[in-house]
Amino acid sequence: MGQKYKLICTACGAVYDSFAEWFANDQKCNCGCQRAEAEYNADYSKLFDCKEHCDSLFRYFDFLPLNNSENIVSCGEGAEPIEEWAFFEKYAKDKHNIDCKVYVVRNDHNNGSGTFKDIAAALGASLFKENGGKRFCLASTGNAATAFSRYCALAGITFDVFMPCDVCPETADTIRSHGQNIHISEGGYGAAKQEAADFHKNEKVLISAGNIDPIRVEAKRTMVFEFLRQLGKMPDVFFQAVAGGTGPIALDKGVRELQKYYDASLRMPKLILVQQDSCDPMVQAWERASSEDFPNGWEKDFLSVVPHPRISILTAGTPGMYPVVAPMVKKSNGSFVRVKENELPSIGKWINDNTGTIFGPASMVCFAGFIKALEEGKINNGETILLNIGEAVDRAKWFEKEVEDCHE
């Protein structure tokens, strides 16, 4: 039978036998690369035969880098029902004469903290438990902090989170309620990140390696399995609000893996990635590249912006992952789309009227992106659209209030 999985460095191909080895190597390859992909010794014809933990991503236990199911830390996340939104389909038809199917992945229903981050935090906490990690740290503006504080607490792992000075009080309270250590920086996210890196180095504590962290990627790639299980096929178009870009990176990994081991005919969906106008460095870089017809090295041509949004989880002013994510977008015939932050409350009101739910602001960026893409003619007749949304509104009371106060 042999070992269940191995980690392979994406830069040099070096093989690591387990996360224990990866952690002992300071979470990077000897070549310096922090990006590794897992390869599984698994029978992909049994991908959808769920034996246990069917209410979470651990239904794919045989396809996750965890050896012993006793180490699973789960609140029920990553296997939420994908919803079809008829009122979005009707809107596309009535307003733009486009016939399409629209599905929404309700990450706000994840039971850990009601965000897309729960999936990664569940696998992360399970892996720390299995591989003897006692402590973990990261810098975060909100969602990752909330998710990891809960899952680490469940796994008995001490979690230190470094947050910018303008962290929202609801988030800080939630983290403290899980008994974890919160360090609020005197500076912004950049300063918090540096403090986390120093802490990792000085205290020898495991740290989140960011958007390419193999824990995040391996966990989130299970969304591809869910599309096939629930929709019976890959969507034609994939929408997500993007700050860093783990979503598209994980999607790409999942699709390549299934092409190799499950069904060679699977195709990467057209990626439409959305940013709001208060923090849109990827959209700006993309617009410049497309206006110049993608000259050599275009994917390395991006500038930082000084973000001034209130959507604290979408504030990556320096789009470090753009050189990784943008070529994926181009290859998929997709695009980056900009939406107006000040239009989100009225769209939120419309969605609330139709669903009874007020969504978090990052989710709203994704929804608004769909509306914008329709306007820009980026959706074709007959396409199946999937919206991978971020979070519930729980920790963004200010946004909830703006939606409630909104009169169309």
Residue 142 C-beta: closest distance to Zn ion, Å: 24
State which residue, 131 or 312, has the beta carbon closest to Zn ion: 131
Strands 5-9 and 15-16: antiparallel
Two structure tokens written together for 291: 């206006």
Residue 258 C-beta: closest distance to Zn ion, Å: 24
State which residue, 33 or 184, has the beta carbon closest to Zn ion: 33
State which residue, 26 or 166, has the beta carbon closest to Zn ion: 26
For 6, what's the count of Cα atoms within 13 Å in the CB-facing half-sphere?
11
Q: How far apart are CA 112 and CA 74, in angstroms?
A: 8
State which residue, 12 or 24, has the beta carbon closest to Zn ion: 12
State which residue, 137 or 153, has the beta carbon closest to Zn ion: 137
Helix (H) or strand (E) holding 402: helix 397-404
State which residue, 209 or 316, has the beta carbon closest to Zn ion: 209
State which residue, 194 or 354, has the beta carbon closest to Zn ion: 194
Residue 187 C-beta: closest distance to Zn ion, Å: 21
Residue 165 C-beta: closest distance to Zn ion, Å: 25
Q: How far apart are CA 179 and CA 282, in angstroms?
A: 36
Residue 6 C-beta: closest distance to Zn ion, Å: 13
- What residues contact residue 317 under an 8 Å CB cut-off, 6+ apart? 279, 281, 304, 305, 306, 307
Residue 64 C-beta: closest distance to Zn ion, Å: 22
CA pseudo-torsion sign 281, 286, 291, 295: positive
Q: How far apart are CA 238 and CA 47, in angstroms?
A: 22
Q: How far apart are CA 73 and CA 128, in angstroms?
A: 10
Residue 137 C-beta: closest distance to Zn ion, Å: 11
Edge-to-edge strand list for the sheet holding 82-84: 82-84, 101-105, 384-388, 237-241, 270-276, 335-339
Residue 33 C-beta: closest distance to Zn ion, Å: 4
- What residues contact residue 270 under an 8 Å CB cut-off, 6+ apart? 236, 237, 238, 332, 333, 334
CA proximity to 261, closest of 18, 42, 9: 42
Task: Name the 3-class secondary structure at 87.
Answer: helix
State which residue, 14 or 228, has the beta carbon closest to Zn ion: 14
Applying CB under 5 A, the residues found at the interface with Zn ion are: 9, 11-12, 14, 26, 29, 31, 33
Task: Name the 3-class secondary structure at 11.
Answer: coil
Residue 200 C-beta: closest distance to Zn ion, Å: 6
State which residue, 199 or 302, has the beta carbon closest to Zn ion: 199
Q: Which residue has the tokens 């900009």?
A: 338
